[in-house]
Structure 1
Amino acid sequence: MWPAGGRHLWPSGGTSAAQSHPRGHLVYAASGVLAVHTERGTSIVPANRAAWTPAGFTHYHRAHGDTDMRIVFLTPSLARLVPDRPAVFLASGLAREVLLALTGPRNYDDAAPGYGRAARSRLLRVLVDELREAHEQPLHLPEPRDDRLRAIARMLYETPADNATLAELGRTIGASTRTLSRLFRDELGMTFYEWRTQLRVHHALVLLADGHDTIRTATACGWANPSSFIAAFSEIIGTTPGRYRTGRRTTAQASRPPGAQAEDDPTAGG
């Protein structure tokens, strides 16, 4: 890993070791989809999003689809300007270009002229300013701590298409609907149905990265029909599944080195 992060190419399913860093860092997927796991929960990083992990948080990354991962570390003075907890931000066009520039060949290719310290500082400040102006994205799925919620989470992680009600799940684990509803609000800051919808959208992003179409993805994630899936997906991601897949391919093509062939694009045809 380069001192300021860098570019890391991961095969689909590739997983890093659990680790923590003395500086917080941003990760961006120029292609593919990343999952960033911390003790606080899981962040999904699709195209045009950037995930922030503060200093000292134990975490690991997992690639869904062949993934071009970019990492940028922030100095403590810049890290103070962003949240002190894991978060996902919408990456504007400018933020994306800065992320690619800070992790491009000029940072690790001896034959290419590199950015000086002053230039890198300016680019990092622009990046942080762009993220501060962006809206946080509801793509961080908090991890339950209570044993009863953890049992429900395990069941739904394994079968996200399960449409059991909270009362039915409660009977399975021996807890009342009222107790579980209170725990979801107090511990996770959302209702059970909001949490399950986010979990399903996370799963949908992974399936779309693996090349599944909208209909198969909707069914696998528990939606009764494609239109309800499209509506829920669009509300959280900001675009339809079809447009998201097209945009993901476009992003991957834009980040391809000059002269590379289309067939080298791991998302081509997806």
Structure 2
Amino acid sequence: MVGEEPGERPGGGAWPRERRTLVVDEVDSPDSIPAPYALLSESVRAGVPLEFEPHTHRLHELVWVRGGTMTVRLPDRVVTVPDGYGIWMPAGTVHSGRTTARAHLYDALFEPARSPAVSPESMVVEVTPLLGALLTHLQIDGLAQGERLRAEAVVFDLLASAERSFDLRVPRAERVGPIVTALLDDPTDRRTLREWSALVGVSERSVARLFRTHTGLTFSQWRQALVIHHALSLLAEGLAVQDVSDLCGFAQPSTFIAAFKRVMGTTPGAYVADRES
């Protein structure tokens, strides 16, 4: 089922819902794939942002985008999936997600019983031109059995964890749950650690310790990384660095550029140029 959200407000994803977002609250997917085949590939271009409520599949899933960015929320982390990358999720993985307006969404489902071992854990996959072309080719109806099986075999050969991943661990401690939820809904919320601690009734020391224990980052580092993940989606929509800096709450672009480089290892301009190439 799909509903339209005309305004901008927090949703079930990882930041404020964009205008004209189509909310998919029930995902209809097959429970199995007819033998002897192992995968089913499909794609959709909605022309508006999509938001998928939390759900699972009985099949393994590889989902990726072209021309935009997707954000996927897993139980223990948030993953930003830019153009050229995808995320592999084993059967039964609870997840939700959002795509930006310009994203062309691709999805492949894999029959566990006929899928060679890929990964028992969710992972980011680089969707190379060859892998993308094969999965797109497999969308064609009426492929001869031998042709389809050969293409599927090469797909499995190409599936591997990407060298870099755009994910951020999410604290799963109940005591800081309200803080995590609020910041996922709005990463630009500038309340201080003291204010957040007072909100949840937990000492600053304990909040700081829980973030460090569960994510390996200080509270400040985690929040800044979350803001940069939000910035990736804005950059994917073609916004200028100055505009993204403003929307992410930075006082000046130079501060944003420095923060972006600390998290991503490159500047926003270089990141965009690399994606476009």
TM-score range, shorter chain: 0.7 to 0.9
CA contact (8 A) 1:161 1:219 kept: no
Q: Partner residue of 2:256?
A: 229
Q: Partner residue of 1:107?
A: 138
Q: Hey, what's the Cα distance between the residues in 1 that align with 2:73 and 2:91? A: 14
Letter in structure 1 aligned against 2:68: G
Corresponding residue to 2:129 among 97, 102, 107: 97
Q: Partner residue of 1:135?
A: 163
Matched, 1:86 2:133: no
Q: Hey, what's the Cα distance between the residues in 2 that align with 1:79 and 1:171? A: 50
Q: Partner residue of 1:196?
A: 223
Q: 1:167 to 1:195 in 2, by over 3 A?
A: same
Which segments of structure 1 move beyond 6 Å, counting only runs of 4 or more? 111-114
**Identity percentage over the alignment?**
30
Superposed CA RMSD in Å reads 2.9
CA contact (8 A) 1:44 1:202 kept: yes
1:225-248 Cα shifts (integer Å, max 9, x gaps) = 322322332344454322333444
- TM-score, scaled to structure 1: 0.74
CA contact (8 A) 2:40 2:139 kept: no
Gap regions ≥5 residues in structure 2: 1-28, 34-38
Q: Partner residue of 1:214?
A: 241
Corresponding residue to 2:79 among 21, 32, 43: 43
CA contact (8 A) 1:160 1:222 kept: no
Residue 112 of structure 1 and its aligned partner are, at CA, apart by 7.6
Q: Partner residue of 1:25?
A: 61
Q: Partner residue of 2:154?
A: 122
Q: Partner residue of 1:69?
A: 105
Letter in structure 1 aligned against 2:237: D
CA contact (8 A) 2:116 2:156 kept: no
Q: Hey, what's the Cα distance between the residues in 2 that align with 1:13 and 1:34? A: 10
Q: Hey, what's the Cα distance between the residues in 2 that align with 1:197 and 1:44? A: 15
1:191-243 Cα shifts (integer Å, max 9, x gaps) = 21232122101211222233321112123223333223223323444543223
Matched, 1:205 2:214: no
Q: Hey, what's the Cα distance between the residues in 1 that align with 2:259 and 2:203? A: 27
CA contact (8 A) 2:70 2:100 kept: yes
Q: 1:109 to 1:52 in 2, by over 3 A?
A: closer
Residue 21 of structure 1 and its aligned partner are, at CA, apart by 1.9
CA contact (8 A) 1:31 1:249 kept: no
Matched, 1:167 2:194: yes
Q: 1:161 to 1:61 in 2, by over 3 A?
A: closer
Gap regions ≥5 residues in structure 1: 251-270
Q: 1:30 to 1:99 in 2, by over 3 A?
A: farther
Q: Partner residue of 1:151?
A: 178
Corresponding residue to 1:5 among 31, 37, 41: 41
Q: Hey, what's the Cα distance between the residues in 2 that align with 1:168 and 1:17? A: 30
Task: Tell me whether 25-34 or 216-225 shows the greater mean CA deviation.
Answer: 216-225
Q: Hey, what's the Cα distance between the residues in 2 that align with 1:177 and 1:199? A: 20
Between Structure 1 and Structure 2, the one with more helix by share is 1
Corresponding residue to 1:241 among 256, 268, 271: 268
Residue 180 of structure 1 and its aligned partner are, at CA, apart by 0.7
Structure number with higher relative contact order (C-alpha < 8 Å, ≥ 6 residues apart): 1
Letter in structure 2 aligned against 1:108: Q
CA contact (8 A) 2:171 2:215 kept: yes
1:84-139 Cα shifts (integer Å, max 9, x gaps) = 333334x2xxx4213321332x32334888843023202321x22xx34x3241x2
Letter in structure 2 aligned against 1:118: R
Q: Hey, what's the Cα distance between the residues in 2 that align with 1:51 and 1:238? A: 21
CA contact (8 A) 2:41 2:138 kept: no
Letter in structure 2 aligned against 1:107: L
